[in-house]
Amino acid sequence: MKQETAEQWQLFTELLSKINSYNEAVSLMAWDLRTGAPKKGVQTRSETIGLLSTEAFKLQTSSEMGAYLSYLNHATVINELSETQRRIVLETQEEYDRSVKIPAQKYREYTELTAHAETLWEDFKENGDFAGFEPYLTQIVAKTQEFIDYWGPKDTRYDTLLHMYEPDLTVEKVDQVFGQLRDRLVPLVDKIKATNKKPDTAFLKQLYDKEQQEKFGIFLLEQIGYDFEAGRVDESVHPFEITLNQGDVRITTHYLQDDVTSAVFSSLHEGGHALYEQNISPELARTPIGQGASMGIHESQSRLWENFIGRSRQFWERFYGDLQQHFPEQLKDITVDQFYPAINAVENSLIRIEADELTYNLHIIIRYEIEKKIFNEGLPVSELPKVWNEKYSSYLGLTPPNDSLGVLQDVHWSGGLFGYFPSYALGNMYAAQIVNTLRKELPQFEGFIAEGNFTPIKEWLTNKIYKYGKSLRPSEIILKVTGEELNPDYLAEYLEEKYKAIYGI
Footprint of a copy of itself (CB under 8 A): 17-18, 20-22, 24-26, 28-29, 32, 36-45, 47-48, 51-52, 55, 227-232, 244-248, 285-286
DSSP for 140-160, please give it: HHHHHHHHHHHH---SSHHHH
How far CA 205 is from CA of 65, 235, 331, 342, in Å, comes to: 55, 20, 11, 11
CB of 436 to a copy of itself, least distance (A): 34
List CB contacts of 299: < 8 A, sequence separation 6 or more: 423, 424, 426, 427, 428, 430, 431
Cβ distance to a copy of itself smaller for residue 18 or 467: 18
At closest approach, how far in Å is the CB of 128 from a copy of itself? Answer: 22
When the beta carbons of 52 and 293 are compared against a copy of itself, the nearer one is 52
Measure the CA–CA gap between 130 and 358, rounded to whole angstroms.
29
Q: What is the DSSP letter of 362?
A: H
Which helix (H) or strand (E) segment is 318 a member of?
Answer: helix 313-326
54 contacts 115 by C-beta, under 8 angstroms: no
Residues 6+ positions from 32 with CB-CB distance below 8 Å: 45
Contact yes or no for 357/427 (Cβ under 8 A)? no
Would you say 50 or 310 has its CB closer to a copy of itself?
50
If residue 262 lies in a helix (H) or strand (E), which one and from where to where?
A: helix 260-278
Catalytic residues: 270
Q: Estimate the share of the chain in helix, then strand, then coil, as percent rounded to the nearest 5.
A: 70, 5, 25
Bridge partners (DSSP) of residue 242 are 250
d(CA 352, CA 411): 12
**What is the rounded distance in angstroms from the CA atom of residue 380 to the CA atom of residue 388?**
12
Question: What does each C-alpha distance from 101 to 15, 58, 94, 292, 337 come to in angstroms?
Answer: 20, 12, 12, 24, 57
**Alpha carbons 54 and 224: distance in angstroms, whole number:** 37
**Closest distance between a copy of itself and the C-beta of residue 44, in Å?**
4
Minimal distance, residue 84 CB to a copy of itself, in Å: 19
Q: Which is nearer to a copy of itself, 29 or 164 (CB)?
A: 29
On whether 326 is known to bind a ligand per the annotation, the reply is no
CB of 282: closest distance to a copy of itself in angstroms? 11
45 vs 367 by CB, closer to a copy of itself? 45
Whichever of 59 and 78 has its CB closer to a copy of itself, that residue is: 59
Cβ–Cβ < 8 Å for 90, 96: no
Nearer to a copy of itself, 51 or 186 (CB): 51
What is d(CA 90, CA 86) in angstroms, rounded to the nearest whole number? 6
CB of 47 to a copy of itself, least distance (A): 7
- Cα 398 from Cα 390, distance rounded (Å): 9
| Whole-number Cα distances in Å, 31 to 36, 232, 349 | 9, 11, 29
* Residue 363 in marked binding region: no
Is 235 in a helix, a strand, or coil? strand
What is the closest distance, in whole angstroms, from the C-beta atom of residue 480 to a copy of itself in the complex? Answer: 29
Q: Which is nearer to a copy of itself, 160 or 291 (CB)?
A: 291
Q: Shortest distance, CB of residue 20 to a copy of itself, whole angstroms?
A: 8
CA 379 to CA 391: how far, in whole Å? 14
CB of 285 to a copy of itself, least distance (A): 7
The smaller minimum CB distance to a copy of itself, of residues 43 and 335, is found at 43
Total count of residues recorded for the chain: 505
Residue 163 assigned to a binding site: no
Q: Chain-centre distance of CA 321, in angstroms?
A: 30
Residues 6+ apart with CB under 8 A from 282: 246
What residues form the annotated binding site for Zn(2+)? Answer: 269, 273, 299
Annotated binding site: 269, 273, 299
